Structures are given as C-alpha cells and as structure tokens.
Structure 1
Amino acid sequence: MAPAVAAELTRAARSALAAGARLDLAAPRPQGLRLTEEFAADLSHRLAGSPGFAVVEDFPVDAEDPRETEKAYWLFGLLLGRPVTQSRKADLLGRVEDRGADIASPVQRGYESSAALPFHADRTDVIGLLCVRPAVSGGLSRLVSSKAVHDLLLEERPDLLEVLHRPFPNDRRGEEQPGEAPWSSIPVFSRTGDSFATRYLRRFIEGSQRHASAPRLTERQLEAMAALDEVLDRPGVSLDMELRRGDLQLINNFHILHARTAFADGGGKGRLLLRLWLAFAGSPELPEHYASLYGAVAAGSYRGGVWAPGTIPAEFGRQVSELG
C-alpha cells in the first residue's frame, strides 16, 4: 500500500474513532478517500477477474491503539464490498488465532485452532486476511486456482469431474436458521451461464453423514474427492506464501481455494489475522443449489455469511452496488 494511501486511511480511521463510530452492518461507504477508493477499485478488478486474489503489503498496523488498525481495515473493506457476519456470535471482524478449538469437532471452527487446514472455501464472496502478528513458526498460507484444478481433472479424470459437478451434502454445523435442514446440497464445481464457482470443504461433506436425513456418500463421490485432493496436494499446483506483519490477503472465494499449514506460537502474544467476509459487486451468479446456504444467487448480490438465529438481513438479494 502506497504511503499516501495508508496515511489517508489512517486519518479517516482516527476521525471515525474520535466520532465514536462502531463496526456496524449499516455503516455507509466512506466518502472523501480519493486515493484509497482508487486503490480499492483496482483491487476489485483483480478479484473479479484474474488472478482472483491480491496481497497488499504495508497495510497500517503499527498504531498503539489496536482499534485504529481495526477501524482502518473496516473502512477499507467497505470500499471493496459489504460485510457479512462470520459466526453465530455475529462477529464482523473475525480474529483468526489459536483458541484451542478442535477441528475434529463438528461444532468448532478451524480459524480458532492452530491446526493445518486443508484447501477449502468459506461462506462468502471475498475473504480478507490482515496479518497483525505472524506465527513463530508455520502458518503458511496456500492458494490454488479452482479453475486450474478443475481443468486438470477435466484432462485426466473427466468421469470423476462429472461427479463433482453434481450435488454433495454439506454439514451446516449447527449454523442453520430455525426450521432449516442441518445440511445443504451443493456441487463442488458449478457453471451458471458464463459464471464459474467452487465450494469445497471435505470435512463439512463428510460431516453431513452425522445427519440421518442427509444422502449417504457414494463410493464414486469418495473417489472423486480423493482425486481432487490428490491434485490439490501436487507440488507446484498451489502458491504458498508467508503472511508478514502488515500483509493483507484478499481472495475471490469462488475462484480460489485456500489452506493453511499448522503453526506454533512462542511466549506472549500469538499469531493473529483479522478477517473480513465481504459480499462483492463483482461476484458470480450461483446455481440455485447455493440459495439455502447463501440466501441469494444473483451475481453481485448481498449474500453469504453465518448469522445468529433470526437475524438474516432484509437486504439479502439486493445488489451490493446499491447498498451503502
């Protein structure tokens, strides 16, 4: 991030804090940040097209008051899209850190553990991860183009790729709304018109089997997932990177799968990434299978997130460009 952009964003964050502004879903899009808006617009084009991700270096994270860093990040996110909540706790700015969560548990979240996380997609259009403190060791971020993986399978195992284009049951891990089924049915790969989308969380697919009402996974589905995992783990398929202090990684969730290696912290404060989930004006149209999980499927619509019971926003389905 250019120093002039960082300075403009920092001034805006300080002003917002002085005015008592809080993180709020209804927060308006920031005005008067010409340099930051231009920078955010360039990033939006990169996210909507190729390569589908970006890493911003030198985001301002050195403020004595951590709220200043959080506010600057929040304001920047509002220039990229509209936030959605990330858990039933209604957190708008997630803290990716080791809190001792057990990823083997169907009701605990991987971002609160130090374990390795395999390639997966989150429940949003765009993911932002701002590194405030790196780990003492490990915690390598891994990205892979889901389109590239799709095309490798098309070349090598078109029979199994066909299976991955059909719906798989996904455990909703207790995050469904009252009256909804505890599992959803979504293909791993989807094409809707000119739009391409990927959703893959093998733990969630396998976790669906704890629900008697979910379809049983077939041998063919298990074989297809094994083939997909083999491609994902091939040397040279993924781009692996170390996120350093002040690095902001932005990911188009439907075009890029992400993973993380296990990490270890020393004494004192441990690894901390601040996470934003954003509905994005440049997001693709999704197949109807996504509707139960995302709330809306039209390209560029406000959707996704994990919401507390009964708190689905009325804005769901509206165009992101019309909000804020």
Structure 2
Amino acid sequence: MSEALANDARIAPAAVPLAFNPVPGRDWTRADLDARADQIVRPVPAALNAEIARMLERLRRQGLTLDTVETEDTLLPALAAMAPQLRAELDTGSGVTVLRGLAVDGLSGEDASIVAFAIGNHLGRIMRQGIATDRRIFTVTNTGAETTDPIRIGATAKRSAMHSDNGCLERRAADYLGLLCAENAAAGGESTLVSGQTLYRTIVAERPDLLPHFHRAWHFLPPRLHTWPEGPETIAKPIFDTEDGELHVHYARVMIEPGQKLAGAPLTDAERDAFDWFDALLERDEIVWTYTLEPGDLLLTHNLATLHGRLAFSDDGTKRRVLKRIWMRQRGRGMRDDPALLALDLDRYGSQAL
C-alpha cells in the first residue's frame, strides 16, 4: 500500500456532530420495537404462499433456475400489495420488519433461494454478492472445516458481532438486507439488531470526543471470495456518513482491523480504545432488539440504518441453521437504477459500480 494512502488514512475530520435529517422512526430501543411487535412482524397472507407455490411449479416446468430466472418470471401480486408498507417501514420507519409464515417446509435449497430472490426483487434491485458463486443469493450456514477466511463469520456457527453488510464488490453497500430462514438451528442463533441513529445519538451524548474516529474513513478488508481480481484491496469509508442527507452506518470490526493493517495504517491504541467503547455500546441490552428466526421468517432490514448480528448456535443431526441472504438497492432513489446517471459519476462510485 502506498505511503500516500497510508497517510490519507490518518486524516481526521472535525469533532462535531454530523448534520442530517433524522428519521423519527429510526431512533428506537428494544422496548420501542417490542411495543410495535404486531407491526414489525407481519404474517403473510395465504394468497402469497399460493402464488409462490404456483410460481415454483411454473419455473420447474420451464426449466428456469436461480441463475436464469428474471423479474418477469417471479411476479407475486399478493406481495406487491404489501410492498408499499414494507418499504415504508424500511425507509421511514424503524428500518426493520419481518415477514412470518412463508411456506418453506420441504423446499429444496434452490427453491428457497428463488423464493428469497422473488420477494427481495419486489422491494429493491437484487445486488450480486459474489462473482463465480453467491451471485444472487448467499447461503448463511455453518460449513465447518470448509471455512478458512476469518472474515466470513456467516459460514460458521460462531457469534457474529454487530455489523453492516458491506458489499465489497460495489463501492456502495446494499440499501436493504434480507435473511430468509429455511431451517433453524438446534439451539441458539438469535438475530440481534440495533439502530444506527440511536447509536449516533448516544455517542454525541456520552462520548463526543470520539466523533473524529467515527467520521473519518477506515479501510475494510473484503472476504477473499468476494473480491475483484483487479482490486481494490480494501474499501475505504467512514463508520457514519450522511449521503442523501440521511445518517448511514457502516461497521464490521472484523474487516476494519486487517484492512487498516493492509493499508499500512494499523490501529493505534487510541483508535482501538474507541472501537472497544463502541463495541461495548453495541452490547447494551436496552438498545439491542433480539429476534428468533423460525423457518418461513424473512427478516428485512435497512442495511445503512441498522447494524445486525447473531448469537452463536449449534446444529445437530436433525436440525441445521440455513438462511438465504439477499442484498437489494432501493428503487427510484437518485441514480441507483439508471446506468446513464451512474456512468456520469464514476469518480465517486468507481468503475465497478455499474
């Protein structure tokens, strides 16, 4: 890594709070989401499961797969009727919602992936997660001895600390994250979520002296399987930013520490202390919402407004935790869907942004 880049990684902005347009629904605690459980967790109508069953049968007859199915093949009117409310909860509400009761029992892994793709595609544009593999869907499950990359916690049964999904194939992370539970673990694996706006408010109130650490850019090291052959080696971004006038959060300490080292700017003691305090904040019971995903649950979060994690889990001979992960871009927001506009902004988003 060049000396210039390493030096640039040490530039810190002023220690003042960021100016942004707060979204009232995004500043929440555990008690707030518990009180709104009947709005956050939405049972799916029987009509939607019937449409999904017909869709899968039709796709089998036509010989379409996860790699060849397109938007027009997966239209679900019952879901389309729910889409405005789901998007509203993600965009202007808490940033968290759950679809409960999708009929996944007996589905193959391929069919469960198609269901996740179809539902996600009604809410946003599906983003690729890998190049040779995991292009549309990443299966979150314990692969055991096959996992050698320490950043890919999702391929283990370990506790996954709070983080955002950082989409290192693109310069901009996904707007939405979806996790469809196809099978659950024998024990453990509860999902944990926290509001980025609540986190930032707490930092400003309790530790404003740490603001420069959260405003400056950090180097995130991407997983080896999800990295462009031609680079970049790291993705640089701040923990908090205000793109589009809204507060966004990006975090994954497991990616930042090795990323900074690779960039020639390993964490100082002061920086490590700041992250230690932040990690302790992410453990506070009063702000962390915990939810147990059951088979047929689809957890949807605004990936730039919340952090998520999961507790450690264990599988046994009859039960194995399997989630189907989707990443989505918001539709109809700025240049997200228009290649002609994206092409005019390559300096900002990079040549891989299309």
Contact 1:140/1:260 (CA < 8 Å) preserved in 2? yes
1:198 aligned to which of 236, 249, 266: 249
**5+ long unaligned stretches in structure 2:** 1-43, 168-173, 340-350
Paired residue for 1:86? 129
The worse-fitting range, judged by mean Cα deviation, of 134-143 and 261-270 is 261-270
Find the counterpart in structure 2 of residue 263 from structure 1. 313
Distance 1:267 1:42 in 2: 39
Partner of 2:153: 110
Show the counterpart of 2:175. 125
- AA matched with 1:238: V
Q: After the TM superposition, which of the residue ranges 150-159 and 274-283 deviates more from structure 2? A: 274-283
Distance across 2 between alignment mates of 1:155 and 1:196 = 16
Alignment of 1:48 onto 2:98: no
Larger mean CA deviation between 254-263 and 91-100 belongs to 91-100
Q: What's the CA shift string for 1:179-212, capped at 9, x where partnerless?
A: 333122210011135122111000111112442x
Contact 2:129 2:138 survives alignment (8 Å)? yes
Q: CA deviation at 1:257?
A: 0.3
Q: Which of 70, 85, 98 is matched with 2:142 structurally?
A: 98
Given that 1:169 and 1:214 are in contact with CA atoms closer than 8 Å, whether structure 2 keeps it comes out as: no
Where does residue 244 of structure 1 map in the other structure?
294
Distance 1:100 1:231, change over 3 A: same
- When you count helix as a share of all residues, which structure comes out higher? 2
Q: Is the 8 A contact 1:173 1:182 kept in 2?
A: no
1:131 and 1:246 in contact (8 A); partners too:
yes
Moved more, 110-119 or 200-209: 200-209
**Corresponding residue to 2:265 among 215, 225, 238:** 215
Q: Is the counterpart of residue 163 in structure 1 residue 213 in structure 2?
A: yes
Question: Could you say what the CA RMSD is over the residues aligned between the two structures, in angstroms?
Answer: 2.6
Q: Structure 1 residues 89, 262: CA separation in 2 closer, same or farther (over 3 Å shift)?
A: farther
Corresponding residue for residue 146 of structure 1: 196
1:13 and 1:75 in contact (8 A); partners too: no
Q: Which amino acid aligns with 2:97?
A: A
Shift in Å at residue 315 of structure 1?
9.6
Post-superposition CA distance 1:44-91 (Å, at most 9, x none): 221122110111100111245554433333221221122222234431
DSSP 3-state at the match of 1:90 = coil
- Partner letter of residue 192 of structure 1? E
1:74 pairs with 113, 117, 129, which one? 117
Where 1:132 maps in the other structure, the secondary structure is strand
Deviations 1:71-126 (A, max 9, x none): 333221221122222234431222111111698x6565111100001000112221
Change in 2 beyond 3 A, CA 1:65/1:95: closer
Give the C-alpha shift of residue 265 in structure 1: 1.0
Describe the SS at the equivalent of 1:180: coil
Q: What amino acid is aligned across from residue 251 of structure 2 in structure 1?
A: Y
Q: Distance in 2 between matches of 1:14 and 1:205?
A: 44
What does the per-residue CA deviation read over 1:157-193, in whole Å, with 9 as the maximum and x for residues that have no partner? 1110232011112213434324333122210011135
Q: Percent identity?
A: 27
**TM-score, with length taken from structure 2:** 0.74
Does the 8 A contact of 2:221 with 2:258 survive in 1?
Answer: yes
The structure-2 alpha-carbon separation of the partners of 1:71 and 1:185, relative to structure 1 and needing over 3 Å to count, comes to: closer
User: Shift in Å at residue 32 of structure 1?
Assistant: 5.6
Report the CA distance shift for 1:269/1:301 in structure 2 as closer, same or farther (over 3 A): farther
Unmatched segments (≥5 aa) in structure 1: 286-297, 303-313, 318-324
> Residue type matched to 2:313 in 1?
F
1:87 maps to amino acid: G
SS of the aligned residue for 1:115 comes to: coil
Counterpart contact for 2:194–2:288, Cα < 8 Å: yes
Distance in 1 between residues matched to 2:114 and 2:85, nearest whole Å: 21
- Within the candidate set 60, 66, 72, 1:23 is matched to 66
Corresponding residue for residue 342 of structure 2: none
Aligned to 2:330: 280
Indicate yes or no: 2:284 matched with 1:234: yes
Cross-structure match for 1:11:
54
Kindly provide the amino acid, as one letter, of the partner of residue 234 in structure 2: W
Count how many residue pairs are aligned between Structure 1 and Structure 2: 291
Equivalents in 2 of 1:234, 1:257: separation in Å? 13
Deviation for aligned residue 1:252: 0.9
Which moves more between the two structures, 13-22 or 198-207? 13-22
